């Protein structure tokens, strides 16, 4: 996989998916008694937030280094 600079899409896409997934889980009335499906969705939203944070960090690092 070639090394490339992350673009705004690399940050926005996982962030949007993570926010939608988190909002869906938090709106459920059974959120107080979390089930296995809810845990899997929270893990998936966490992964998306992690990808967005990683891409943001890479973008900021590359943006600082370029003159």
Higher pLDDT, 31 or 19: 19
pLDDT digits (tens, 9 = 90+) for 29-61: 877 677 788 888 888 888 888 888 888 888 888
For residue 67, is pLDDT > 70?
A: no
Residue spans of the domains in the chain: they are: 8-65
Those residues whose C-beta lies under 8 Å from the C-beta of residue 59, and which sit 6 or more positions away, are 5, 6, 7, 10, 11
Q: How far apart are the first and last CA of the chain?
A: 25
The position carrying tokens 């962030």 is 15
Sign of CA dihedral 26, 32, 38, 40: positive
pTM here is 0.54
* Distance (Å, whole) CA 52 – CA 33: 28
């Amino acid at each position: 996989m070639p090394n490339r600079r992350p673009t705004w899409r690399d940050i926005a896409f996982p962030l949007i998916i993570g926010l939608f997934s988190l909002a869906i889980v938090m709106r459920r009335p059974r959120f107080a008694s979390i089930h296995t499906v809810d845990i899997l969705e929270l893990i998936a939203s966490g992964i998306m937030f992690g990808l967005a944070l990683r891409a943001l960090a890479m973008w900021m690092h590359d943006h600082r280094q370029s003159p």
